[in-house]
């Protein structure tokens, strides 16, 4: 159930650089957040930055040092923990000041917090200073969590020789976290990576001690119940406990968009709610057997499991509904925090671009070198840099960071599809195909649209903190969810938290759709794009998958109609009307008619209504 002492929201990882040091800014207020471990060069620059602030010795970890990636990550995480501990101690000892950090901590807590109630009661009876002194030892800092995108597990080389698998990017990042002083969680996102999950077994801190305590916990970011069960069981068989399943909307989120097979978030949450006990019991029994097989201590009863959700939430009403109806333990708020300079590293140009963005400016793009659709905003400076290179006849990035080198289409050693090398080879291949002008342009554009996210998602942190970024340049990629269209104010941390808990409203527009309605609309558009991208010959299995996708959306619509009919809150009637309108849109997509048209008019590409 939701936390009655502390906050009921968390700040997910956003991009790479935007939240690279967010825990140092918010953890002392009891707010949990996450750091991406993709970029060890950024990590090293930020460690130098914070070491100078803390006035502690700094010795560079260069690429000449063995296992430098893991060592950089370990060193940085230890420094961030030092920052958080220092900030938290200063906050607890600031209670004698009228506008102290401790009072700000209490003010930001939800009004339902027991700590807040006790503080207010003590303050009425004994005065503010005495109340602060009584309450300070009940406070806890937020968690310094880390995130690994499991797909980014590039193989590495030294003097032309491929290194063992444990030196792969994700493996080294995992080792860096495992060897740090942190007592927190690692978030695995983007699906199951068997080799990486097997590697977790090597580190003692991921196993429960005789009190059932785990120093380093595992969080799985999942899109549906089936994914959670498969991954949870895989880890449990190794004696590893999943402490949290973090459900994220497939499309109504920031960053990479991993669309489900038409399953809508509300229906997914309902399945977790109904089958939560089954998930916990099933994985616990497997974990217990896994621990016993390793002659390790096995708890007698299941360890705590949190279910959390994120993706598209934007109002206090939605926040409360997710907590109360689906019994989730926390709700992730990402995109709106990009407009909070106290929390995220967003340069002034990008900050204004996000503030001005409307629905038409926010879109799912194909710019990611990973081949997964990626949320973007028009006018970002990385796209400007990319276009300048195209106009100069030299498309592609010089690839200074190389974290997305995963393609072996032309080379034995993987390269990145956003790189100048790959795009030169791909365009060369295209020139040999003697295509019609229209088809040539279409394919050319699909090659050069890939952007250097390794730089784009990190450089803002360097710009904001006035650190050297000559090698990276100034092209910033930013990846907000569609929710950004309804937030336009650049605000303080306190104001954003007050918005989350309904103490103020930062959305001045009254036309913002409910988060479930927005996601439903996106899934219908997603289905239409899938159909538009069909090319003959289309296998029967593809038609079956599209039909299943459409059916799952239809089932989700029926679930929402029933849900909001029963809920009967002040938004229910509006939501039901909007869902009915979207149902009509979905019903106008006749897959059988599409199939007949493509067979009889193969030269015509289908366009949906």
> In this structure, what are the phi and psi dihedrals at residue 431, rounded to the nearest 5 degrees?
-65, -20
CA pair distance 172, 322, nearest whole angstrom: 36
CA pair distance 358, 459, nearest whole angstrom: 24
CA neighbours closer than 13 Å in the CB half-sphere of residue 486:
20
Q: Mean pLDDT, the chain, as a whole number?
A: 94
Tell me if 4 is assigned to some domain. Answer: no
**Span 384-420, pLDDT tens digits:** 999 999 999 999 999 999 999 999 999 999 999 999 9
Tell me if 435 is assigned to some domain. Answer: no
- Tokens read off for 68: 């430098």
Whether pLDDT at 220 is above 70: yes
| Average pLDDT over every residue of 218-222 | 98
17 neighbors 345 (Cβ within 8 angstroms):
yes
SS3 content of the chain, % helix, strand, coil (to 5): 50, 10, 40
3-state secondary structure of 142: coil
Tell me if 596 is assigned to some domain. Answer: yes
Whether pLDDT at 202 is above 70: yes
DSSP state of 95: T
CA angle 374, 515, 247 (to 5 degrees): 65
| pLDDT score at 603 | 52
Among all chains, which residue has been given the structure tokens 């009228």? 98
Whether pLDDT at 57 is above 80: yes
CA pair distance 268, 265, nearest whole angstrom: 5
Among all chains, which residue has been given the structure tokens 């220092």? 86
**Span 293-352, pLDDT tens digits:** 999 999 999 999 999 999 999 999 999 999 999 999 999 999 999 999 999 999 999 999
Report CA 13 to chain centroid distance, whole Å: 5
pLDDT interval class at 98 (50, 70, 90): low
CA distance readout (Å), 391 to 386, 424, 448: 9, 14, 11
30 neighbors 55 (Cβ within 8 angstroms):
no
Which residue range(s) make up the domain with 534?
Answer: 513-609
| pLDDT score at 1 | 39
Q: How many helices (H) and strands (E) does the chain have?
A: 22, 12
| pLDDT score at 290 | 98
| pLDDT score at 602 | 55
Pick the closest to residue 141 from 10, 30, 32 (CA basis).
30
CA pair distance 501, 2, nearest whole angstrom: 14
Say what the pTM is.
0.95
CA angle 366, 368, 374 (to 5 degrees): 65
Burial of 602 (0-12, 13-18, 19+ CB in 10 A): exposed
| pLDDT score at 570 | 74
Tell me if 150 is assigned to some domain. Answer: no
235 neighbors 305 (Cβ within 8 angstroms):
no
Whether pLDDT at 71 is above 50: yes
367 neighbors 376 (Cβ within 8 angstroms):
yes
Per-residue burial over 365-400, b if 16 or more Cβ lie within 10 Å, else e, is bebbbbeebbbbbebbbbbebbeebeeeeebbbebe
pLDDT interval class at 3 (50, 70, 90): low
235 neighbors 218 (Cβ within 8 angstroms):
yes
Pick the closest to residue 595 from 529, 546, 551 (CA basis).
546
**Span 357-374, pLDDT tens digits:** 999 999 999 999 999 999
Tell me if 78 is assigned to some domain. Answer: no
- Tokens read off for 381: 């400076």
**Span 237-275, pLDDT tens digits:** 999 999 999 999 999 999 999 988 999 999 999 999 999
pLDDT interval class at 128 (50, 70, 90): confident
**Span 480-534, pLDDT tens digits:** 999 999 999 999 999 999 999 999 999 988 899 999 999 999 999 999 999 998 8
Reduced 3-state DSSP string for 361-393: HEEEECCCCCCCCEEEECCCHHHHHHHHHHHCC
Whether pLDDT at 38 is above 50: yes
| pLDDT score at 96 | 66
Whether pLDDT at 607 is above 60: no
292 neighbors 303 (Cβ within 8 angstroms):
no
CA neighbours closer than 13 Å in the CB half-sphere of residue 528:
14
| Average pLDDT over every residue of 550-563 | 97
120: enclosing H helix or E strand:
helix 114-126
| Average pLDDT over every residue of 452-459 | 97
| pLDDT score at 608 | 42
Tell me if 420 is assigned to some domain. Answer: no
Burial of 440 (0-12, 13-18, 19+ CB in 10 A): middle
DSSP secondary structure string for all residues of 233-297: HHHHTTT--EEEEEEE-SSSSSSB----SS--HHHHHHHHHHHHHHHHHHHHHHHHHHHHHTT--
Tell me if 556 is assigned to some domain. Answer: yes
pLDDT interval class at 567 (50, 70, 90): confident
Q: How many other CB atoms sit within 10 Å of the CB of residue 161?
A: 6
CA pair distance 10, 8, nearest whole angstrom: 7
Tell me if 389 is assigned to some domain. Answer: no
**Span 160-173, pLDDT tens digits:** 889 999 999 999 99
Whether pLDDT at 119 is above 60: yes
| pLDDT score at 129 | 82
- Domains contained in the chain, number: 1
CA pair distance 521, 565, nearest whole angstrom: 20
Whether pLDDT at 606 is above 60: no
């Amino acid at each position: 159930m939701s936390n009655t002492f502390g906050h009921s929201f968390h700040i997910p990882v956003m991009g790479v650089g935007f939240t690279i040091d967010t825990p140092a800014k918010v953890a002392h207020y009891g707010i949990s957040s996450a750091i991406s471990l993709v970029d060890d060069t950024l990590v090293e620059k930020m460690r130098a930055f914070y070491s100078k602030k803390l006035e502690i010795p700094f010795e560079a970890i260069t690429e000449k040092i063995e296992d430098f990636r893991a060592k950089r990550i370990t060193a940085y995480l230890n420094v961030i923990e030092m920052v958080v501990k220092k900030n938290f101690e200063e906050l607890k000892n600031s209670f004698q000041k009228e506008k102290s950090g401790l009072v700000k901590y209490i003010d930001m807590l939800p009004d339902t917090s027991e700590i807040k109630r006790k503080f207010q009661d003590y303050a009425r009876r004994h005065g503010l200073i005495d109340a602060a002194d009584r309450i300070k030892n009940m406070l806890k800092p937020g968690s310094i969590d880390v995130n690994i995108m499991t797909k980014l597990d590039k193989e590495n080389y030294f003097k032309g020789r491929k290194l063992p698998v444990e030196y792969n990017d994700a493996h080294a990042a995992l080792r860096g976290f495992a060897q740090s002083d942190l007592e927190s969680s690692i978030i695995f996102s983007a699906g199951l990576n068997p080799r990486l999950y097997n590697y977790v077994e090597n580190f003692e801190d991921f196993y429960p001690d005789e009190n059932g305590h785990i120093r380093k916990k595992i969080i799985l970011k999942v899109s549906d119940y089936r994914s959670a069960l498969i991954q949870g069981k895989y880890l449990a068989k190794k004696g590893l406990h999943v402490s949290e399943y973090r459900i994220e909307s497939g499309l109504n989120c920031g960053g990479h968009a991993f669309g489900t097979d038409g399953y809508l978030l509300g229906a997914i949450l309902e399945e977790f709610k109904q089958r939560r006990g089954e998930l916990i019991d099933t994985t616990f029994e497997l974990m217990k057997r896994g621990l016993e097989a390793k002659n390790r201590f096995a708890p007698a009863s299941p360890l705590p499991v949190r279910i959390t959700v994120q993706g598209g939430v934007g109002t206090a009403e939605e926040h409360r509904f997710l907590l109360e109806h689906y019994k989730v333990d926390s709700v992730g708020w990402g995109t709106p925090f990009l407009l909070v300079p106290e929390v995220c590293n967003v340069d002034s140009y990008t900050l204004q671009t996000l503030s001005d963005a409307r629905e038409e400016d926010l879109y799912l793009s194909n710019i990611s070198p990973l081949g997964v659709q990626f949320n973007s905003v028009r006018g970002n400076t990385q796209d400007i840099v990319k276009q300048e290179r195209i106009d100069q006849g030299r498309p592609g990035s010089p690839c200074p960071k190389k974290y997305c080198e995963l393609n072996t289409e032309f080379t034995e050693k993987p390269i990145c599809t956003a790189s100048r090398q790959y795009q030169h080879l791909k365009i060369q291949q295209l020139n040999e195909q003697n295509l019609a002008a229209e088809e040539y342009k279409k394919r050319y554009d699909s090659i050069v649209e890939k952007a250097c996210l390794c730089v784009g998602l990190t450089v803002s942190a360097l710009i904001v903190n006035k650190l050297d970024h000559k090698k990276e340049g100034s092209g910033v990629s930013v990846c907000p969810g569609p929710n950004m269209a309804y937030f336009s104010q650049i605000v303080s941390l306190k104001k954003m938290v007050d918005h989350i808990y309904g103490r103020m409203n930062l959305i001045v527009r009254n036309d913002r759709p409910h988060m479930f309605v927005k996601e439903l609309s996106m899934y219908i558009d997603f289905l239409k794009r899938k159909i538009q991208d069909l090319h003959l010959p289309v296998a029967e299995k593809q038609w079956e998958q599209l039909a299943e996708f459409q059916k799952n959306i239809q089932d989700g619509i029926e679930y929402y109609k029933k849900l909001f009919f029963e809920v009967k809150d002040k938004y229910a009637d509006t939501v039901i009307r909007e869902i009915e309108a979207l149902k009509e849109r979905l019903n106008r997509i006749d897959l059988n008619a599409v199939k007949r048209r493509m067979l009889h008019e193969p030269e015509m590409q289908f366009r949906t209504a």
